[in-house]
């Protein structure tokens, strides 16, 4: 007697229809679901043993997503269950004409971070403590600003140079009574740099998880 093994290859599952209360999901049913914040509800912040911020996706709560199109914009809405109640929230938006990837809070933080080699984007402030963030601050007087720009020019990415040139980017500096304030990576302690790296890694992981989920709901 032979022992034959049955192997089933991994596969993705697509939800074509979702039944709610015995009724098929329709646009009318979808519109009645209470709105909620996708990121606050489905992404939680955890801290490891070293107090590094880690993001975790609550995948078990997700039922699927709905794609809505209007005026050249495509919105991706996710539906989930929270304590037995249906909730929905926007994951991201995309421009139909150019077929861009869905823009959302995580992609914005990651992209802004990746475009800068020298300055700290303001979206990262909440990752660090006030004390850590303040350690990265420098102040340059008005008369010394051009000299400072020339000194650090070789360390700037294209985006950083563009921001310098316009001198109007309020993302990483602000005008005050003393001069220009900047928040820069070179002055961050190594522990803070590691916290930022860990956060970006976990954010990218969550985006990959979400984008890999085949949970489309046709309405």
- Residue-level pLDDT at 53: 67
Task: Give the residue among 71, 110, 74, 118 at the shortest CA–CA distance from 92.
Answer: 74
One digit per residue, the tens of pLDDT, for the chain of length 219 reads 455 555 555 545 455 677 766 667 788 888 889 999 998 899 988 776 666 667 889 999 998 889 888 888 888 999 999 988 999 999 988 887 776 677 888 888 888 888 888 888 888 888 888 888 899 998 888 778 778 888 888 888 888 887 776 654 454 455 555 677 888 899 999 989 988 988 899 899 998 888 888 888 877
Instruction: Give me the numbers of helices (H) and strands (E) for the chain, helices first please.
Output: 7, 10
Q: What is the Cα gyration radius of the chain?
A: 23
- For 202, residues 6+ apart whose C-beta sits below 8 A from its C-beta are 53, 54, 55, 56
- For the chain, the structural domain boundaries read 19-111, 117-196
List the structure tokens of 112: 């802004």
Q: Identify the H or E element spanning 106.
A: helix 105-114
- Residue-level pLDDT at 42: 92
Residue position matching structure tokens 């421009």 = 95
């Amino acid at each position: 007697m032979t022992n034959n093994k049955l192997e089933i290859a991994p596969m993705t599952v697509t939800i074509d229809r979702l039944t709610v209360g015995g009724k098929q999901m329709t646009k009318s049913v979808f519109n009645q679901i209470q709105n909620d914040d996708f990121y606050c509800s489905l992404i939680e912040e955890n801290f490891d043993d070293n107090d590094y911020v880690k993001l975790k996706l609550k995948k078990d709560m997700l039922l699927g997503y709905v794609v809505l199109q209007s005026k050249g914009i495509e919105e991706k809405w996710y539906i989930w269950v929270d304590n037995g109640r249906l909730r929905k929230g926007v994951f991201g938006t995309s421009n139909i004409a150019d077929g861009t990837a869905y823009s959302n809070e995580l992609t914005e933080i990651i992209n802004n971070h990746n475009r800068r080699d020298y300055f700290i984007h303001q979206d990262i402030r909440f990752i660090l403590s006030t004390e850590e963030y303040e350690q990265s601050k420098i102040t340059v007087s008005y008369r010394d600003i051009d000299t400072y720009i020339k000194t650090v020019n070789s360390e700037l990415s294209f985006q950083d140079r563009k921001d310098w040139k316009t001198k109007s980017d309020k993302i990483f500096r602000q005008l005050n009574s003393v001069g220009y304030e900047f928040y820069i990576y070179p002055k961050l302690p190594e522990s803070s740099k590691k916290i930022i790296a860990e956060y970006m890694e976990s954010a990218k992981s969550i985006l990959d998880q979400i984008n890999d989920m085949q949970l489309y709901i046709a309405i």
